[in-house]
Amino acid sequence: QIRQKPYDEAVQKAENLLDMEKGENKTAEEVEQLKQEIETTKKALDGQERLDLAKTESSKQLKNYTYLTQGQVDSVKNFIEKEAKMNKEIEVRMGAAASLNTEMSNLQHIVEENKDLQSKANYTSSDDDRKKAYNTAYGNAEKIIKKDSTDNKDETAVKEAQRPTEKSPSRYGKI
């Protein structure tokens, strides 16, 4: 491994120093420097330390995902803090959170584009079934993007909510 070699080399230097027959006389400062080298390279081998760092960094990064609901954020945080055992798991989960944040942003923009739709002619001239279907889809989309929601909708559910609201009268004529 990449991290193992420097550690092995530092240990070998220490073993050479301790060799009574062939060992060299070193100053206290040189011995201390060698000790620090061993400790530093040993820490680099420590997976828990790297995992803790990845958890801290991902928690900071999660704050930048401003379109996620509280439930979505809590789900990612819970996984990172309690379930993640490897850096790769955190990497994958944060990648999924980034994609979800993008889809939530898209849904937010669709909802904003259509918030005053009910006063437009395309809506008012549509039949009641189409109005009802659109109102349901729009209402569901609004619930999904609500920031304080404790729901944890995944990317598929968010994309599904985008479809009917994307086909709004403001984009495609009558509903």
| pLDDT tens string 103-160 | 999 999 999 988 888 788 888 888 888 888 888 988 999 999 999 988 899 999 999 9
Helix (H/G/I), strand (E/B), else coil: 153: coil
The answer on pLDDT for 42 being more than 90 is no
Q: What pLDDT, on the 0 to 100 scale, is given for residue 75?
A: 96
Taking the CA atoms of 146, 150, 151 and 154 in sequence, report the sign of the dihedral they define. positive
Looking at residue 23, what is its pLDDT? 65
Backbone angle region of 20, left / alpha / beta, with phi > 0 → left and psi within -120 to 50 → alpha: alpha
Which pLDDT tens digit goes with each residue over 50-100?
888 899 999 999 999 999 999 999 999 999 999 998 889 999 999 999 999
Q: How far apart, in whole angstroms, are the C-alpha atoms of residue 78 and residue 169? A: 40
pLDDT score of 175 more than 60:
no
Q: What is the largest CA-CA distance in the chain?
A: 99
pLDDT on residue 172? 40
Question: DSSP readout, 61-84?
Answer: HHTT-TTS-HHHHHHHHHIIIII-
User: In whole angstroms, how far apart are CA 126 and each of 32, 166, 171?
Assistant: 82, 16, 14
pTM of the model: 0.68
